[in-house]
Amino acid sequence: MPSYSPMKPNANSAAARARLPRSDRAATPPSAAERALRPVGYLLVALVWTVLGAIVLLLPAALPFALWSTNPDFSTEEFLTGGDVVPTVLFLVFAAVVLVPLLGYAYVALPLAAVPLAVLAWTYVGRSLLPRYAGERLSSTGWSRNVIGPPTLGPTALSLLPVHLTPWTRFWTELMLLGWRPGRRILYAGIPYGLASFLAPGWLFWPLGVVGVAVWAIVTGALVALSVALVVRAYRARVSGRRPAPRAVPGS
């Protein structure tokens, strides 16, 4: 009687790749279906992070807009001088000690976490359409316990890490990690920005003359410029110190 050997599965099929360990599966080139679908996937991801980036960039404008929309006749002069002195002083102390550092930290760290991911996602959209990237994975997923977010039992996933590093993708990745792994330098960078976000409504809703508006606008701009300089300093310190990158597993 003739004997027949069982058919061996195609090692390059999607089903075979799905049974591989994560590291082995990730090292395989993308299939034809993955290459066809990933421009759409990266486009959707890019749109989501673009919207989130725009939202967090506009957060500092929330306070002036809320004051104007709820009370068009609001005046900071009346707010500071029209009430009791003790509550006003207590509010100013609370704002200086708590609100300015906390909100400034959020105003700096959140854009650093969101905007670079939007740029990287749009970069992958472009690369997914180029033939020279057809045979390789475009992004990877890293794992780290030292990132912002809710408590988790295991490491937190960091997506959209570039597989093919260039000066462009390396810059945006390092900038993104400043937001997802914020430290004291980012906290210090946020304090001038938080102070500027409180000063801006103060003089915008104060009946100042042209000279007063110009002076306070210069002061606010100088505080924002100081925050930018401190972020640049934090970026250079990170690059020169070269903190360990998250453990990456290439994806599609």
**Burial degree of 8 (CB within 10 A; 0-12, 13-18, 19+):** exposed
Whole-number pLDDT of residue 149: 56
Q: Is the pLDDT of residue 24 over 70?
A: no
- Per-residue pLDDT reduced to its tens digit, 164-183: 889 999 999 999 999 888 78
Q: Please state, in angstroms and rounded to a whole number, the distance separating the CA atoms of residues 104 and 125.
A: 32
Whole-number pLDDT of residue 115: 96
Which residue in 152, 107, 159, 155 sits closest to 137, CA to CA? 159
Distances (CA, A) of 146 to 3, 158, 172, 188, 231: 58, 11, 19, 19, 19
- Per-residue pLDDT reduced to its tens digit, 180-205: 887 899 999 999 999 998 888 877 77
Q: Is the pLDDT of residue 90 over 50?
A: yes
Determine if the pTM surpasses 0.75: yes
Q: Report residue 7's pLDDT band, with 50, 70 and 90 as the boundaries.
A: very low
Distance of CA 148 to the CA centre of its chain: 11
Contact 108, 60 (CB under 8 A): no
Q: Nearest 5 degrees, angle CA 120-CA 170-CA 190? A: 80
Whole-number pLDDT of residue 238: 87
Q: Is the pLDDT of residue 251 over 90?
A: no
Q: Please state, in angstroms and rounded to a whole number, the distance separating the CA atoms of residues 22 and 117.
A: 23
Q: Is the pLDDT of residue 246 over 50?
A: yes
pLDDT exceeding 70 applies to what percent of the chain? 76
Whole-number pLDDT of residue 47: 97
Pairing outcome for strands 156-162 and 139-144: antiparallel
Beta bridge partners of 144: 156
- Indicate the average pLDDT of the chain: 80
Whole-number pLDDT of residue 18: 47
- Per-residue pLDDT reduced to its tens digit, 33-56: 888 889 999 999 999 999 999 999
Among 9-18, 151-160, 179-188, where is mean pLDDT lowest? 9-18
Structure tokens at 165: 């590093």
Whole-number pLDDT of residue 3: 46
The one-letter amino acid at 2: P
- Per-residue pLDDT reduced to its tens digit, 207-241: 677 787 788 889 999 999 999 999 999 999 988 86
CA dihedral sign of residues 187, 107, 214, 90 = negative
Close Cβ partners of 147 (under 8 Å, ≥ 6 residues apart): 156, 158, 180, 181
Whole-number pLDDT of residue 180: 87
Highest mean pLDDT among 85-94, 114-123, 138-147: 114-123
- The terminus-to-terminus CA distance of the chain in angstroms comes to 48
Whole-number pLDDT of residue 152: 56
Whole-number pLDDT of residue 234: 93
Q: Please state, in angstroms and rounded to a whole number, the distance separating the CA atoms of residues 159 and 251.
A: 9
Q: Is the pLDDT of residue 9 over 60?
A: no
Whole-number pLDDT of residue 15: 47
Q: Please state, in angstroms and rounded to a whole number, the distance separating the CA atoms of residues 80 and 86.
A: 11
